[in-house]
A and B are shown apart, each in its own frame.
Chain A
């Protein structure tokens, strides 16, 4: 495995963890989040800060995951108060609050971010394989959740919150669980990214990043683990395959979002097995 392939595998793995995490919140549980990059950033900043202090990789990863998950549950609390469109704008706001905070903190490097982060203690190839293993574990977790009792309950909440409540589902608990799992995974992705890039900048975690992750989920098919898996790999590889696609990456993402929603709101997964009309 060459260094180039290793870096590709690492980026794909990190994007997979991000997209599958968002898929649990938005796809499984039906809660729109436009601020996923903030939790990615929370994990990354936590891990980077601790790594600079000399903490070992397992500890920093765990801390990044816990931090993002904890804040994620707090943000999830807003989903109990506000619904749907309010939630979309609120989560978008979380992203701006996170960025606005980080940019002004001298102890987090301000606009310049954190650099000089120690390596993971592994070579590029084993580290890429470690990231890939994490991504596979997240995919397996997603499938397990989807097929478990919890997955059915998420489905019920996503479909009709009030009906779910009527049949005795504790809607609040499940929403918070979805937010907690999804954002904690984003934190893990952030921690993994830190040791891969060895430098973090605030702009890596901006609104565009949140939208990029959302694009992967939506194009794959919101709620479909395999669809999201495939589309994340395809969309991450796209800029590598063609130079033009790299220059116009955002333009292509935007156009794809519009076209997919117009012709197959279920994404790629919706094309494969067309749902019965509801």
Chain B
């Protein structure tokens, strides 16, 4: 039974990674920027969820605000930090992104304190249900449901609507899409809006899962999300989704069977490095 439980727990984490990593993949696919500051957006979402929920008593309202504020933050990051330097080589935006991430993390420490905040009323992270012998908390179930709903919703949007088709066209060939009347700047805004809202919701959910929100919480998750994006073949959404789930499962097994040699965070990167040695283009990437 341990085997099945490890797989299920791994998939739960995989769903959370997917919500983070899709935003990163979209940014990379469109702008070729390693958006490390995504971690800050994730933590911002968590802080919004916890403070608004504690202030109003409504979890739903807390998450709506978390998604909205994260989306606005994402757009602001694009407009103020990235847009002025897009003409430089990839190194420049990456360094800006690192700087921005540090500033956000330190900002949270100054504003909300270094010791972290818990939800006043959070019965869902301990309350659990048994599914065929595997016990899952309500938050874990919510994580899976939310990520499936949001990502399927996004898939339908990208596949079926005019705006979604314009978006995909821009990712494939910005120049061609522009000459067919797609506004590339609007696509970028949409991109940051959606990816950042997802990261904010993921942050709120992780806050609920651990019942704890702290300034550095974005770090480990988003470094792993970066690893996933590379693993999936930078810029490939399908690869990213598969890589998220695979990494979640690999980690959950590694944390048990390699516990004496490596900690949990190292296992994900070890897996990444091994995969890249065999397939430098990532799991589904094309050369």
Chain A: residues with CB nearer than 8 A to chain B? 32, 78, 81-82, 84-86, 88-90, 92-94, 96-97, 99-101, 103-104, 207, 211, 214, 218, 222, 248, 250-251, 253-258, 261-262, 265
Interface flag for B88 (CB, 8 Å): yes
B88 vs chain A, min Cβ distance (A): 6
Does the CB pair B99–A100 fall under 8 Å?
A: no
Stretch from B159-167, B191-199, B255-263 at the A interface = B255-263
- Assess A89 versus B272: contact at CB under 8 Å? Given A32-B91, A261-B96, A262-B84: yes
CA distance A97 to B103 in the complex (A): 25
Q: Known pairs A88-B94, A93-B273, A104-B263; list 20 more (Cβ under 8 Å).
A: A32-B91, A78-B273, A78-B276, A78-B277, A86-B234, A88-B34, A89-B272, A99-B263, A100-B262, A100-B265, A100-B266, A100-B267, A100-B269, A101-B262, A104-B262, A207-B219, A222-B91, A250-B106, A254-B103, A254-B106
Interface flag for B126 (CB, 8 Å): no
The dominant DSSP class at the A interface is: helix
3 shortest interchain CB distances as A-B pairs: A100-B266, A257-B99, A254-B102
Stretch from B140-148, B205-213, B222-230 at the A interface = B222-230
B79 vs chain A, min Cβ distance (A): 13
- Assess A82 versus B276: contact at CB under 8 Å? Given A100-B266, A101-B266, A262-B96: yes
Contacts of B34 in A (CB 8 A): 85, 88-89
Does the CB pair A261–B85 fall under 8 Å?
A: yes
Does the CB pair B95–A251 fall under 8 Å?
A: no
Which of B102, B107, B268 is within 8 Å of A211, CB to CB?
B102
Question: How many residues of B are in contact with the other chain, CB < 8 A?
Answer: 49
Q: Which residues of B212-266 are within 8 A (CB) of A?
A: 219, 223, 226-227, 229-230, 234, 259-266
CA distance A104 to B244 in the complex (A): 25
CA distance A254 to B99 in the complex (A): 4
CA distance A253 to B219 in the complex (A): 17
The dominant DSSP class at the B interface is: helix
Interface flag for B168 (CB, 8 Å): no
Residue of B nearest to A255 (CB): B103
Which of A89, A214, A250, A254 is within 8 Å of B230, CB to CB?
A89
CA distance A104 to B261 in the complex (A): 6
B128 vs chain A, min Cβ distance (A): 29
Does the CB pair A85–B28 fall under 8 Å?
A: yes
Which of A90, A222, A258 is within 8 Å of B272, CB to CB?
A90
Interface flag for B4 (CB, 8 Å): no
Interface bits B110-134 vs A (CB < 8 Å: 1, else 0) = 1000000000000000000000000
